[in-house]
Amino acid sequence: MDPCQEGPRQERGDPCRVGARREYGVARRERAHQVDVGREGAHRQDPDRADERAHRAFLARVAEPGDEVCGRWIREVGTERAVRGLLDGGERPRGVTDRRWAGLRARAERADPERDLAAARAAGIRFVCPGDSEWPAQLDDLGDGRPTGLWVRGSPSLRMWALRSVALVGARACTEYGAHMATTLAAGLAERGWVVVSGGAYGVDGAAHRGALAAGGATVAVLACGVDRPYPRGHTELITRIAEQGLVVGELPPGEHPTPSRFILRNRVIAALTRGTVVVEAAYRSGALVTARAAQRLGRFAMGVPGPVTSGLSAGVHELLRGEAVLVTDAAEVAELVGDMGELAPDRRGPVLPRDLLDPGAGRVLAALPARGLTGAEEIARGAGTTTDDAVGRLYELRSLGFVERHGDGWKLTRQMMISVRDGRPGC
């Protein structure tokens, strides 16, 4: 049998695997650079970084997102030595057990960065790495847990969009109130020129994306799977639309599926990518709270939209607000917190009524009149704590302003004032 023919009992060091490694090295040296034309110009990736891109695509297939042990190893030895160590079984990360090392090497034997990059190009996906002009520098705040690279689907520049972005996350099984608030907030932020970032999931995430799109704004979906595989399946149309009008981003190579741990680790990218995270409805055990707490650890703003105290879906948000998170109720308040100097929300107060403009003395005299019936000036003066002469002068002032009427020697509220007092309203 030809030693290079595939067999059921192939050894790790056999000539076939050695040949595959050589082919991998030759293909890296011969790779042409990828060009993606974007809304803001061409996403031209430096051909001199082709080897680095291939190394990182290889490592993205081997290491799980957020693996700080592998991240530290890559930082210390570089991507090329890390790839060589995985393929040859030599140098390994500090603190990695034999069992885990065997698992990483098993993944490395099946990794094919050329295939991943070719599949990505065919699907209109680019692989953005640290050091690229499109790489969002704020992701470096994750330290050794930063992504090895990001697979990006869509035309705009990820770096430029991330500079003015806000995360909007929350419960998957949200209420009508939660969906309404997410849609309204996203639309308001989009109208103010902010990019809305979320996870593409059901519930609040989907409402946020739709709100931004409906307002003609920008939105980014950060997935916990390959960006060529929309998840959840029910949001295939939505995620396709986001890719056409915005960006779909993920750490995992094409074809990779989501897992519970990948959803949690995905949230750190959402938190690091944006200036702040807004949580709309979240129970005590919610991935949205993980995102908000990651934002706080990274020095970003964490915000929460309050809900009914009787709703379990708002319990996690309220607990967040009891800490260092900031309560927000609309897009203007979010923009004031995360925006630049001068992006202030309007002052919030009730309507100014005519009686609010009265002199304090006149206000006390008005308050001394009963809701019904006539009252003499002396009794009104006692109720207002002033002299009769002062009370009479104030009453004539109030009559000219339409607050009171005079009938003989008595005074009474006008019909308009009597109705407001009877209905429990503040009145004029």
Give the pLDDT score at 49: 80
pLDDT bucket at 373, cuts 50 / 70 / 90: confident
Give the pLDDT score at 9: 36
Q: How far apart are CA 265 and CA 211, in angstroms?
A: 25
Residue 284, pLDDT above cutoff 90? yes
Q: What is the mean pLDDT of the chain?
A: 86
Residue 223, pLDDT above cutoff 90? yes
Nearest to 161 by CA among 182, 124, 189, 185: 189
Segment among 71-75, 158-162, 283-287, 339-343 with least mean pLDDT: 339-343
pLDDT, tens only, 155-211: 999 999 999 999 999 999 999 999 999 999 999 999 999 999 999 999 999 999 999
Any idea what DSSP says for residue 298? T
- Give SS3 for 412: strand
Nearest to 168 by CA among 211, 230, 139, 229: 211
Which ranges in 298-371 belong to alpha helices (H)? Answer: 312-321, 331-338, 360-368
Contacts with 150 (C-beta within 8 Å, 6 or more apart), sequence order:
127, 128, 135, 139, 158, 249, 250, 251, 269
pLDDT, tens only, 341-362: 667 667 777 777 777 888 899 9
pTM of the model: 0.78
pLDDT, tens only, 419-428: 655 554 544 4
Give the pLDDT score at 353: 76
Residue 44, pLDDT above cutoff 90? no
Contacts with 345 (C-beta within 8 Å, 6 or more apart), sequence order:
330, 332, 333, 335, 336
Average pLDDT over residues 368-397: 91
Residue 129, pLDDT above cutoff 80? yes
CA angle 177, 183, 186 (to 5 degrees): 135
Contacts with 99 (C-beta within 8 Å, 6 or more apart), sequence order:
none
Residue 274, pLDDT above cutoff 60? yes
Average pLDDT over residues 302-315: 96
Q: Is 144 exposed, middle or buried (0-12, 13-18, 19+ CB in 10 A)?
A: middle
